[in-house]
């Protein structure tokens, strides 16, 4: 658990972070959103003490972080940043293995961990591990950055726009991977973004920041339904709020499940359980159908979903 | 192995010449037909070469240690206040000619090896210092931030990240410094150091071109060999750290 109590950070006379209170429960993904310069990165960097705070208290599992040894604190906090900061003189494998090395893991354990992470993030342990950062694409480099943050098996993850500066498709893929990893590992995560869709997708709870303050701290659904101010309302976009709400749920949440899987007609397009209701609705509108089968990975129909069920799911 | 071929060959030629020049007297009668003393004999070339290399080596070692430490110190939080001053000194110092440094060293320390050494150290410091600052300052701040964020101590950041990344630029500084100092050391002969400058000075004073040529050839070869040695080291560094 991470607790920020009345935390303030000034740069000279300018207040970057203004007396914020924020509690991040163990295993939760807290996403900080807000426009550029509102103090998201500053908040994050105070948590691993890359920046000292001007006043207030930051506790990790009840302990003031200023009482801990800063290196030991950081070894237990994975850190990934937008510009990746990969070490240009080390291979991908050595970059990912840096924290295990600092923790003095035995070599074989470190090597296993490195190839496990490469696989987890969709990189090839055989070919990509021996590359140097300058030989990677932007998306690959950000994956390596995330893998490096996970490598030491930290309890806490701090991620500062780790998928920024990527094209929509790669970004979407990495977000899916992030969700999958989070389901497997449930790390206490603080994730910074200025993309509200990314926030809605990944967050357990979202903290909306503006000019160094937290305007609202709540679940994605609550943020969408009850924005605390005009600023939050603008941030989430009034127009497609309903669709965003639909995007929070998956087909699996509302479908009617068959007692046992059935053969499906190979010609009808089906949905997957993990598809969002928003995507499902889009398919229905496009196909002009009231009902669609839900298919398993193997292609069997495991259930069905009706248009009314979809629309009720958003309510 | 290819990169090491040139320096090894040049060093071999240099050593061979230093040993064999006295046997090549007939060759020099072309240059200086009107005299019997065709070969500089006050000291052996071999001895002068050693003494020359020794001066440069000692000054380069001291200069590198001092300049790199100073460069590291002023880029740490504790020394950051001195950074503007030190980098100014480093760039202004380069505009003072080496002869001036030698001339200033004499009243302070008299004649001989010591003032030469002092001048060489002082003059050799500057390119190394300048390149140390440039190398350390040129590292992507995101790399340093993530190194620290990963949990490296300051010493680990310095030795695992900063120095390997800045190393090639620092090496280039040492290369410049040593090359300049091979020439400067020769001028040291004017204030009593024993170097390959001796035959050159003696030749100029006595009007014996053969002496001048012998000294100049050896100094030139030494500079060439050293330069290609550094070239090879820089490449090896680049391969090791892949930059
Ligand atoms: N080292 C620094 N020195 C002075 N001012 C700083 C420093 N770092 C940040 N600031 C200021 O603090 C404020 C908050 O910066 P911060 O980096 O936290 O913003 P951010 O929310 O992460 O923005 P972005 O989305 O653009 O990354 C900004 O006004 C910035 O100018
Ligand atoms: Mg930021």
Is pLDDT at A289 greater than 80 in this prediction? yes
CA of A38 to the centre of ligand 1 (A): 7
CB atoms inside a 10 Å sphere around CB A246? 21
B140, B142, B151, B167: which to substitute to probe chain A, counting the most A Cβ within 10 Å?
B151
pLDDT at A79: 96
Query: pLDDT band for position B242 (50/70/90)?
Result: low
DSSP letter (8 states) at residue A250: B
Q: Is A86 on the interface with B (CB under 8 A)?
A: yes
For position B222, what pLDDT does the model report?
Answer: 95
Q: Assign domain B2-15+43-241 to its CATH superfamily.
A: MetI-like (1.10.3720.10)
Whether residue A265 contacts residue A310, with contact meaning beta carbons closer than 8 Å, is answered with: no
Which residue of chain A comes nearest to B242, CA vs CA?
Answer: A89
**CA triplet A97, A156, A10: central angle to 5 degrees?**
110
pLDDT of residue B35 exceeding 80? no
- Arithmetic mean of pLDDT, B4-11: 91
Span B120-140, pLDDT tens digits = 888 888 899 999 999 999 999
Q: Provide the pLDDT for residue B1.
A: 64
User: Would you say the pTM of this structure is higher than 0.95?
Assistant: no
Largest pairwise CA distance in chain A? 68
Strand duo A256-262 + A213-218: pairing: unpaired
Any ligand 1 atom below 6 A from CB of A36: yes
Pocket of ligand 1 contains residue A40 by CB under 6 Å: yes
Quote the pLDDT of residue B88: 85
- Split at pLDDT 50, 70, 90, the class of A18 is very high
In chain B, which residues have their Cβ closer than 8 Å to the Cβ of A91? 242
Provide the 8-state DSSP code for A305: E
B37, two tokens: 């003393």
Looking at residue B231, its pLDDT comes to 92
Per the CB < 8 A criterion, the answer to whether A78 and A154 are in contact is yes
CA distance A101 to chain B (A): 10
pLDDT tens digits, residue range A34-87? Answer: 989 999 999 999 999 999 999 999 999 999 999 999 999 999 999 999 999 999
Ligand nearest to the CA of A52: 1
Domain residue extents for chain B: 2-15+43-241
Residues of chain B contacting A81 with CB distance shorter than 8 Å: 142, 145-146, 149
Contact criterion met (CB < 8 Å) for A85 and B152:
no
Mean pLDDT of A122-139: 92
| Tokens at A142, concatenated | 């950000």
Q: Which residue of A has its CA nearest to B144?
A: A85
Confidence of residue A173 (pLDDT cuts 50, 70, 90): confident
Quickly state the pLDDT bin for B28 (edges 50, 70, 90).
confident
Confidence of residue A314 (pLDDT cuts 50, 70, 90): low
pLDDT in tens, A249-270: 888 888 888 888 888 777 777 8
B50 has pLDDT over 80: yes
Which residue has a Cα nearest atom 29 of ligand 1? A37
Nearest CA in chain B to A50: B149
| pLDDT at residue number B191 | 86
pLDDT at A240: 85
Residue A50, pLDDT score? 96
When pLDDT is cut at 50, 70 and 90, the band that residue A198 belongs to is very high
């Amino acid at each position: 658990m991470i607790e920020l109590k009345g935390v303030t950070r000034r740069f000279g006379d300018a207040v970057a972070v203004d007396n914020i209170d924020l509690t991040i429960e163990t295993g939760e993904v807290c996403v900080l959103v807000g426009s550029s310069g509102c103090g998201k990165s500053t908040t994050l960097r105070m948590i691993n003490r890359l920046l000292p705070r001007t006043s207030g208290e930051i506790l990790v599992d009840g302990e003031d972080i200023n009482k801990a040894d800063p290196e030991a604190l950081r070894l237990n906090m994975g850190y990934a940043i937008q510009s990746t900061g990969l070490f240009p003189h080390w291979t991908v494998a050595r970059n990912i293995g840096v924290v295990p090395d600092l923790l003095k893991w035995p070599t074989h354990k470190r090597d296993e961990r490195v190839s496990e992470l490469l696989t987890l993030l969709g990189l090839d342990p055989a070919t990509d591990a021996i590359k140097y950062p300058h030989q990677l694409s932007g998306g690959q480099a950000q994956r390596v950055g995330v893998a490096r943050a996970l490598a030491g098996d930290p309890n806490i993850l701090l991620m500062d726009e780790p998928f920024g500066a990527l094209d929509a498709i790669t970004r979407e893929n990495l977000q899916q991977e992030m969700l999958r990893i989070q389901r497997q590992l449930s790390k206490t995560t603080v994730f910074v973004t200025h993309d509200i869709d990314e926030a809605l997708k990944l967050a357990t709870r979202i903290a909306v920041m503006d000019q160094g303050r937290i305007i609202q701290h709540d679940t994605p659904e609550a943020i969408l339904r009850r924005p605390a101010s005009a600023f939050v309302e603008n941030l989430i976009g009034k127009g497609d709020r309903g669709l965003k709400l639909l995007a929070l749920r998956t087909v699996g949440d509302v479908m009617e499940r068959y007692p046992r899987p059935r053969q499906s007609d190979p010609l009808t397009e089906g949905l997957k359980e993990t598809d969002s209701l928003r995507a499902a609705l889009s398919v229905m509108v496009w196909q002009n159908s009231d009902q669609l089968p839900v298919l398993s990975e193997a292609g069997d129909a495991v259930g069905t979903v009706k248009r009314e069920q979809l629309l009720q799911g958003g309510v | 192995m290819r990169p090491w071929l040139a320096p090894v060959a040049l060093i071999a030629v240099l050593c061979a010449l230093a040993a064999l020049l006295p046997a090549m007297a007939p060759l020099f009668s072309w240059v200086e037909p009107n005299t019997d003393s065709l070969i500089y004999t006050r000291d052996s070339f071999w001895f002068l070469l050693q003494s020359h290399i020794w001066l440069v080596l000692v000054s380069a070692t001291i200069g590198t240690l001092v300049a790199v430490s100073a460069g590291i110190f002023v880029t740490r939080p504790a020394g950051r206040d001195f950074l503007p001053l030190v980098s100014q000194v480093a760039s202004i110092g380069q505009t003072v000619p080496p002869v001036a440094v030698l001339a200033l060293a004499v009243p302070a320390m008299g004649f001989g090896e010591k003032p030469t050494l002092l001048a060489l150290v002082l003059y050799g410091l500057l390119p190394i210092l300048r390149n140390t600052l440039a190398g350390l300052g040129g590292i992507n701040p995101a790399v340093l931030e993530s190194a620290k964020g990963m949990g490296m101590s300051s010493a680990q950041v310095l030795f695992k990240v900063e120095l390997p990344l800045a190393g090639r630029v620092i090496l280039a500084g040492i290369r410049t410094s040593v090359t300049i100092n091979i020439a400067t050391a020769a001028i040291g002969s004017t204030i009593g150091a024993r170097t390959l400058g001796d035959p050159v000075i003696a030749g100029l004073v006595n009007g014996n071109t053969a002496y001048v040529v012998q000294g100049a050839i050896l100094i030139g070869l030494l500079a060439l060999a050293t330069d290609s040695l550094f070239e090879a080291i820089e490449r090896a560094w680049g391969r090791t750290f892949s930059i």
